[in-house]
Amino acid sequence: MEVNKSKKIIEIQDVVKIFGGLKALDRVSISVEESEIFGIVGPNGAGKTTLFNIISGVLKPTSGKIFFNGKDVSGQPPYKMAQMGIGRTFQVVRPFSFMSVFENIMAAYGVRFYHNITKSFSKWKKEEYVKDVMLILLKTELFEYKERRADTLPLGVQRKLEIARALALNPKVLLLDESFSGLSFSEIDELKKLVFNINNEGVSIVVIEHNMPVVMDLCKTVAVLNYGKKLVQGSPKEVVSNPDVIEAYIGKKQYAQS
């Protein structure tokens, strides 16, 4: 049995993921403490999204282990991860396109019933469930869009919808995959506020983000990935001044030779 000293909500141990001949992740170990906001940064193709796919069960690791709340969950399917309390969003949004915003969130809220065959066949539109979903709609400021078809919404709203859908799982961890990219400044500020609010309710959050000011604001700890390997981990300030990180992003210092 794994003993849990400091409260680690997610612990990734020596995870390797190989696609054909490509090592997308090479013995990556990361641990996320309870109720912190953890950042993952790195150049394109560093393996950040692959890491999320492994934590959320979309991909199985080639080797290595993932612990959630001290329990080994390596190789579990996504819906089991969701039932346990891992919610995620996608870099390229994936709302349930032909369903309304309300139904999108309700579909995830149903995680409480799907494992039970009798409950699966009971009616979903009940006051108590609707009330809960309305609270999520209000919290994520999606209330005005609740009857809109998900695929008719602007990107910023779809991003929020994905967060709302993940929140309906009542998650312990929320994985945000570049939720801030492509948004306007005001949308970024709004979303930042939302992320802090969610975090204040005790939900641990892992963000993949390219926007460094956002990372600096949000995260207590940041890990840098490059070519599938973890370069460094530390506070955002430490990380951005680390020479290895600078090299990964902009290359090595070279002196002209005479």
Partner 1 sequence: MSAYLITILITIGIYIILALSLNIIVGYAGQISLGHAAFWAIGAYSFAILSVKYSLPFIEASVCAILITTLIGVILGLPSLRVSEDFLAITTIGINFIVQAVFNNINYFGGAMGIGNIPFPQIKGKMFSSAQFMALTYLFVFLTIVISYTFRRSWAGLASFAVKADEIASNVSGIDPKRFKIIAFAIGSALAGLAGILYASFMGFISANDFSFPVSVTILAMVMVGGENTITGPIFGAFLLVLLPEIFRPIHNYRMLLYGLLLVVMMRFQPSGFFGEKGIVWKLIRVKKS
What are the residues binding partner 1 (CB under 8 A)? 56-58, 77-79, 81-83, 87-88, 90, 94-99, 103, 106-108, 110-111, 113-114, 119-125, 165-166, 168-169
Quote the least distance from Cβ 73 to partner 1, whole Å: 14
Q: Which is nearer to partner 1, 126 or 252 (CB)?
A: 126
Quote the least distance from Cβ 88 to partner 1, whole Å: 5
Neighbours of 92 (CB within 10 A): 7
Quote the least distance from Cβ 150 to partner 1, whole Å: 8
Burial class (CB in 10 A: 0-12, 13-18, 19+), 126: exposed
Quote the least distance from Cβ 105 to partner 1, whole Å: 9
Q: Is the dihedral angle over the CA atoms 40, 45, 49, 50 positive or is it negative?
A: negative
CA atoms within 13 A on the CB side of 231: 24
Q: Which is nearer to partner 1, 121 or 185 (CB)?
A: 121
Asked if 56 contacts 86 with a C-beta cutoff of 8 angstroms, the reply is yes
Asked if 136 contacts 168 with a C-beta cutoff of 8 angstroms, the reply is yes
Q: Which is nearer to partner 1, 30 or 108 (CB)?
A: 108
Q: Which is nearer to partner 1, 139 or 192 (CB)?
A: 139
**What is the arrangement of strands in the sheet containing 221-226, beginning at the earlier edge strand?**
86-88, 173-177, 204-208, 37-41, 221-226, 229-234
Quote the least distance from Cβ 77 to partner 1, whole Å: 7
Cα–Cα distance, 167 to 203 (Å, whole number): 10
Q: Which is nearer to partner 1, 121 or 255 (CB)?
A: 121
